[in-house]
Structure 1
């Protein structure tokens, strides 16, 4: 057998022994810069396994939990420290910080940080999920009954449009809205600071697919 034929035969054997990974990977998440790490792993995964399809679904924690329960999702990404014992969890290094998205031409934009007292009487729109989970209950301190919450939002893209046109303020995570030099909006962090951890969760009652196991292994390798 010639050297060329030996090489061709070896290559054929290796290809036969290497499993073809295919299928779909479904991940539900809220809006967070923590998704940059997730998408980086997903991009490399899809480059290595072209037969894999990836589906990202936006949603609040309650919706993500329901979709994990009925098998629509392989993983969910949630913000905050409360993770139910029914899930396996991997805490990511990224932390989101709450602040105020507001028009540049307002007096409040002159402040370096925003305190609860600064928001008294100001028109606020707030993340509906965060409100339902009472994320700001401790931060409000003793001024909660003096706040003017005029609405809620699910997606910060839509919220920023309302802030721009209605001159209200949005309680939001940092770095979700690009603030350019010519932007009409700016962002100010809260004081005292209010931060949220980011956690990947998956059901303890369901066996992860091969694709999901590979994704999780790769994510763990750069987070643990």
Structure 2
């Protein structure tokens, strides 16, 4: 019987959940199939829930199993990251993980990361893309060192450094759209147009005041959390997209054009990390170089 949820057993569970086949999972783990089946059964007994629906030729995850899979992956990533940083504490090495939204200010961060890799070749960099909620969750559970947050949000619970750059909101459109004749886009320009919105902007109601009484006259067809996917819809002329400047290629021949909105809407970009956290050597190095970069501006 499993007495506690050991990391080894979590690894067994994750492998089984990914393969959804006990025989293939056992081969992947280099253990016997009966031994793996017994470990999974013991884990279910310990937790008091059923993790898998067992079919003759395959397995499916129960809701409890799906939840445990998500949590187990986070635990195993955090464990591996902690081990790597402890083993490399005497030198600048180990892993540096950053969760970030899409912003042209990431160029500053990428420049710093590139220099760190050149100076310390054993450092491993991991960039996770997502919106504010995604980045904050990863930071709170400890699987990332820093989060890059776009928007004027309450970040008082974190240590923070605001970058000099500001993201500018606008409308991405096909290069032959009639609105390309305008230098700036007003709410009235979008009446009856199909609009894709940023998922974070939609959740945070960024554009409610900007649209004002025109909002109900705009056809919002959906949201995107990654700018690239939205550009494909725009290229297909299925919609215009509310997005930030400098995220899409709007050079000649790209098929796309960007126009800022008026009244202007700009967003701050802030790097945050946990208060009172003892940063790993590589995380400390990154923060020092980022602070120096901002001071030089």
Q: TM-score, normalising length from structure 1?
A: 0.89
> Compared with structure 1, are the counterparts of its residues 189 and 169 closer, same or farther at alpha carbon in structure 2 (3 Å cutoff)?
same
Residue 183 of structure 1 deviates from its aligned partner by: 2.3
Residue 205 of structure 1 deviates from its aligned partner by: 4.7
1:170: which partner in 2? 241
1:143 aligns with 2:214: yes
The residue matched to 1:27 in structure 2 has which SS?
Answer: strand
Equivalent residues in 2 for 1:13-32, closer than 5 Å = 20-32=91-103
**Structure 1 residue ranges, 4+ long, deviating more than 3 angstroms after superposition:** none
Question: 1:173, 1:204 → 2: CA distance?
Answer: 29
1:6: which partner in 2? none
The residue matched to 1:138 in structure 2 has which SS?
Answer: helix
The structure with the larger Rg is: 2
1:94: which partner in 2? 165
Specify which structure has the bigger relative contact order, considering alpha-carbon pairs within 8 angstroms and separated by 6 or more residues: 1
The residue matched to 1:66 in structure 2 has which SS?
Answer: helix
Equivalent residues in 2 for 1:96-175, closer than 5 Å = 96-175=167-246
* Structure 1 or 2: more helix by fraction: 2
Question: 2:160, 2:91 → 1: CA distance?
Answer: 28
Count of residues paired in the alignment: 206
The residue matched to 1:166 in structure 2 has which SS?
Answer: coil
1:58: which partner in 2? 129
Question: 1:104, 1:45 → 2: CA distance?
Answer: 39
Say if 1:103 and 1:167, in contact at 8 Å, map to a contact too: no
The residue matched to 1:121 in structure 2 has which SS?
Answer: coil
2:41: which partner in 1? none
Say if 2:170 and 2:243, in contact at 8 Å, map to a contact too: yes
2:259: which partner in 1? 188
Question: 1:123, 1:52 → 2: CA distance?
Answer: 45
Residue 140 of structure 1 deviates from its aligned partner by: 1.2
Residue 102 of structure 1 deviates from its aligned partner by: 0.5
Structure 2's unaligned 5+ residue stretches are 1-89
Question: 2:113, 2:154 → 1: CA distance?
Answer: 23
Say if 2:249 and 2:256, in contact at 8 Å, map to a contact too: no
